[in-house]
Amino acid sequence: MIYNPIAPKKGNWTVTQNMINAIFFYRIERWCFLHNLKFISKVIQLWIFLFYNSNVSGNVAIGEKTYFLHGGMSCFIHEDTVIGRNCRIGMHAMIVGQGPYKNVAKIGNNVWIGPNVTIQGPVIIEDGVVIAPGSVVNKSVPKNAIVAGVPAKIIGFTTELEYDLMKNECYKEGHLPYLVDKRKK
């Protein structure tokens, strides 16, 4: 299994809701792929698809300490995608290509990709980026940006935050305020 200091723990190993993270099986698949054991790699890719409803090929390069949130359920990562170290990939994340381009996404280190995010085309996501849930990223994103929306737009920078998102800190009590009705009457 994969060591992850901030995930729910059973010993010191990554366990999400009593389920092994799909990244564990991806690492075995990747090793088989790199050692020219293509058939075994494809069998493990099928296992990931059947049990996690995710498609992660051995061609995908995922850096160390990167893992899927919620076990890696329903993720699709295009072949030849490069993902850096220490990233978090949310549930239902889609990293897809875009015609007529041959290249696919390159994602830097310490990137947080929220649930239901689509990253489309040959974009470059630089280090320290946060992509809000439900966003569609179809342009490259500069270092430490926080992006949200369809299509994604920069709404801030992680350097302006009071806390580190990657530490997954939970120290504030209470709930967020209610939405305010700003419609014109």
Q: What is the mean pLDDT of the chain?
A: 86
Tens of pLDDT, residue by residue over 4-15, are 444 444 444 444
Residue 128 confidence (pLDDT) above 50:
yes
Q: Do the domain assignments include residue 171?
A: no
Residue 144 confidence (pLDDT) above 60:
yes
Q: Do the domain assignments include residue 15?
A: yes
Here the CATH number for the domain that contains residue 150 is 2.160.10.10
Strands laid side by side in the 112-113 sheet? 67-68, 88-89, 112-113, 130-131, 145-148, 153-157
Domain with 58, as residue range(s), is: 9-163
> Model's pTM, two decimal places?
0.81
Q: Do the domain assignments include residue 2?
A: no
Q: Do the domain assignments include residue 174?
A: no
Tens of pLDDT, residue by residue over 67-123, are 898 888 889 999 999 999 999 999 999 999 998 999 999 999 999 999 999 999 999
What tokens appear for 15 in the block?
């366990």
**120 compared with 182, residue with greater pLDDT:** 120
What pLDDT does 171 receive?
73
What pLDDT does 161 receive?
82
DSSP assigned state of 150: T
**How many domains are contained in the chain?**
1
What pLDDT does 169 receive?
67
Q: Do the domain assignments include residue 88?
A: yes
Of the chain, the end-to-end C-alpha distance in Å amounts to 57
Residue 1 confidence (pLDDT) above 60:
no
What pLDDT does 9 receive?
46
